[in-house]
Amino acid sequence: MNPTTDNELMLRVKGGELEGLNLLFSRYQAMLTGYFYQQSRNHEVAKDLTQDTFWRILRYRQSYQPKSAFKAWMFQIARNIYFDHCKRNKGIFENFEEGVQKEFSEENRPCPHEKNDDIQLLNQAMAKLPEDKREVLILARFENLNYREIASILGCSVNNVKIRVYRALEALKLNYHSLEGGKA
């Protein structure tokens, strides 16, 4: 039995069969929440923005065009929602690095003997990246989107995405090594 593709489900939703949105939600809720969490470092914001994304998918279902992958279309919506949220709540995400520091503070660790310094350094290095570099790495490495999907989301060529990912990884590497050298 061949499961229904995302594009087929979205076409059904576009045609008025709204039950398909529940299946799309179950397929992508965790991925979107992870994307928003990686961007904001706030679980509640991530959950709210995920809900907003699916509400907007429902609201704008008539604009869906099956020529592009549903996932890319969904991430374009999610990206716009995140930017809108940042504009409305100016200053909330200006200290992304502060959120990373808080997340990995001694009091938030499950066990004081369980130190995961590499993950902490990686998150701090990510926090030091400019937002555009952080976003492309989140899409490529955390959300495992392919370069074609990322190109569709960002509105650029696949080659441009490859260059952006390469530059972001190089910047991440520099940040990581600089933080690693600063460890006591």
pLDDT digits 0-9 by tens, 12-35: 999 999 999 999 999 999 999 999
Of the candidates 118, 97, 121, 98, the one whose C-alpha atom is nearest the C-alpha of residue 175 is 121
pLDDT at 22: 94
pLDDT at 93: 45
pLDDT in tens, 134-170: 999 999 988 889 999 999 999 999 999 999 999 999 9
Tokens matching residue 97: 């690095």
pLDDT in tens, 19-76: 999 999 999 999 999 999 988 889 999 999 999 999 999 999 999 998 888 999 999 9
Q: How confident is the model at residue 105 (pLDDT cuts 50, 70, 90)?
A: very low
For 159, which DSSP code?
Answer: H
* All residues at 6 or more sequence positions from 21 whose CB lies less than 8 Å from its CB, including other chains: 9, 13, 54, 57, 58
Angle separating helix axes 147-154 and 158-181, nearest 10 degrees: 100
Tokens matching residue 104: 């990995």
The CATH 1.10.10.10 domain(s) of the chain lie at 95-184
pLDDT at 40: 85
Rg of the chain (C-alpha set): 18
CATH classification number, 1-93, choose in 1.10.260.40, 1.10.1740.10, 3.90.1150.200, 3.40.50.970: 1.10.1740.10
181 has pLDDT over 90: no
Domain covering 95-184 in this structure, CATH number: 1.10.10.10
The CATH 1.10.1740.10 domain(s) of the chain lie at 1-93
Which whole number is the average pLDDT over 114-141? 84
Give the amino acid at 184. Answer: A
Whole-angstrom distance, CA of residue 67 vs CA of residue 47: 29
Task: Tell me whether residue 49 is exposed, middle or buried, using C-beta atoms within 10 angstroms of its C-beta: 0 to 12, 13 to 18, 19 or more.
Answer: buried
Which whole number is the average pLDDT over 114-139? 83
For 105, which DSSP code?
Answer: S
pLDDT at 95: 45
Whole-angstrom distance, CA of residue 14 vs CA of residue 97: 40
